[in-house]
């Protein structure tokens, strides 16, 4: 059965290739608008499901994986910054704080579906104004939820994590692997 990743994210593509290289990519154009007050864990599950459904509508016989990641500071969702100023604002808010990274995953296949989320706690060092300006100027925060990437220079801001490191990158590899195995969707492998 064809396996499709409903994401244009190079990080998700790279992380799914840890599990299998037998997949194709079809970025989703699903609406990502959420109702105000949607809790972060529900938001990522809903968005992952929308993305998977949009791609599955075009490929009904395939198994499709949708995913979405947000950073939550309390109940406040921090998405991708619109500009450098917003990136700096997010980094100031995260400075010296703990936050949670939520990634939702939806796996839709002709034989069934799984929708779940993974949560990882991340603690930031207190950041100086200069550190925030430097990191924002690297451009790295611009396409990342919460305005940082733990896999790049953003790692210099992180004091520690509790949970799945790959979840912070946007794709909880071990949980996805287990779900795909349980659903019998890994090509050439027994479930």
Q: Which residues participate in catalysis according to the annotation? A: 68
d(CA 155, CA 101): 14
Q: Do 108 and 64 contact (CB within 8 A), yes or no?
A: yes
SS3 for 162?
Answer: strand
d(CA 93, CA 73): 8
124 CB neighbour count, 10 Å cutoff: 20
* Bridge partners for 113 per DSSP: 108
């Amino acid at each position: 059965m064809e396996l499709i990743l409903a994401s244009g994210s190079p990080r998700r593509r790279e992380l799914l290739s840890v599990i299998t290289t037998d997949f194709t990519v079809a970025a989703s154009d699903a609406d990502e608008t959420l109702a105000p007050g949607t809790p972060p864990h529900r938001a990522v599950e809903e968005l992952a499901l929308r993305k998977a459904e949009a791609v599955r509508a075009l490929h009904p016989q395939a198994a499709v994986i949708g995913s979405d990641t947000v950073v939550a500071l309390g109940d406040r969702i921090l998405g991708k910054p619109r500009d450098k100023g917003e990136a700096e604002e997010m980094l100031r808010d995260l400075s010296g704080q703990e936050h949670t990274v939520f990634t939702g995953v939806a796996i839709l296949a002709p034989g069934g579906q799984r929708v779940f989320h993974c949560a990882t706690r991340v603690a930031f060092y207190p950041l100086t104004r200069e550190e925030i300006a430097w990191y924002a100027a690297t451009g790295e925060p611009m396409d990342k939820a919460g305005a940082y990437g733990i896999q790049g220079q953003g790692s210099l801001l992180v004091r520690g994590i509790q949970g799945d490191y790959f979840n912070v990158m946007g794709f909880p590899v071990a949980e996805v692997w287990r779900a795909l195995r349980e659903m019998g969707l890994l090509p050439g492998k027994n479930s």
